[in-house]
Amino acid sequence: MTIDAFIDALPKVELHVHLIGSASVPTVLELARRHPGSEVPTTEEELRRFYTFRDFPHFAQVYRAVNALVREPEDVATLVLGLARDLAPQGARYVELQVTPYAHHVVGMPMREVTEALDLAAARSMADHGVEMAYIFDIPGEYGEEAAKVTVEHALQEPPAALVGFGIGGIEQERPKYRDAYRSAFSAARAAGLHSVPHGGEMSGPETIWEVIEGYGAERIGHGINCLADPRLVAHLRDTQLPLDVCPTSNVCTGQVADLAGHPLPRMLEEGLYVTLNSDDPPMFATTLADEYRAAARAFGFGKPELAQLARNGVRASYLAEERKQALLEEIDDLAG
């Protein structure tokens, strides 16, 4: 079996992908034409140029512009189902989709209607595409106390049935000024039984990773690629086997890493860190979950054993039911021989 055929057949989970960032080009064009007058281009050629990012703040600006097109609960459900449709042919069986309730709040969507759309989409994702959908509610980190309050209220008062986690994304450098509000929100979410899965160490240094560990009780961390600058942190991550959800193409496209050849993922594995492989915002970065495995094979020289281990890591780090985990691990083992 060729590497490409192996990757196609490999059962996968996607643990780090964002609702807005998962929108395919045709879906974004549909929304842009449905809601005219936005910053988002309405032709495919212009939209692909729009998705050429200069740096992370520019990416955040583009992301916000696309986010502003999601104005009705039907738009939310369409995005979720589009992701399930796109992931099914890639061997993906389970997704933990990051949803930002504050973005829907500011355009006037009631919590209950957003939750109903998410519940409907989760049911149809499984029925129509065989992809099990779970959700992580995340705070947009640059929006402060109000965003934290809205996110945790939605998570606790009107949660979708498949809500498993609580996170934070956005521009990491903005977080220190809202430190107490974010710690409080995570404390409330964790007390309600939600898993803590914040971003950290993507565009800032080890101090952000320490903050999500010590202040947010992180059980899994989005990105974490800048951990290598702190040997004490590396030792802690190795000893605890705290999973890091790594998204290589995303890091290149947002300018956090110069190129794939220089990505820290191989060294993170050499250091004994627990790494999963994910796509983040795949259409915005012209990638897919399967393409991330292909990129790892091409850029890092990973063979079938290494790729299978990354797939196992994802399954074990997920919040799937234990029996589903075991079934997927057995499938991976059977394929890997």
Pick the catalytic residue from 72, 202, 211, 292. 202
The verdict on whether 270 is a catalytic residue reads no
Collapsed DSSP state (helix, strand, coil) of residue 195? strand
E strand map for the chain: 12-18, 92-99, 132-140, 163-169, 195-196, 199-200, 221-223, 244-246, 275-277
Residue 173 amino acid letter: Q
Query: Rounded to the nearest 5°, which phi and psi values hold at 230?
Result: -130, 100
Which residue, among 103, 133, 104, has the nearest Cα to 15 in the 3D structure? 133
Q: What are the C-alpha distances in Å from 20 to residues 5, 27, 128, 207, 222?
A: 29, 10, 21, 28, 17
Residues forming a β-bridge with 12? 92
Spatial distance between the Cα atoms of 70 and 161, rounded to a whole number of angstroms: 21
Spatial distance between the Cα atoms of 122 and 176, rounded to a whole number of angstroms: 35
Spatial distance between the Cα atoms of 190 and 227, rounded to a whole number of angstroms: 24
- Evaluate whether 7 touches 307 at the Cβ level (below 8 Å): yes
Tokens coding 316: 């074990």
Q: Which residues are catalytic?
A: 202
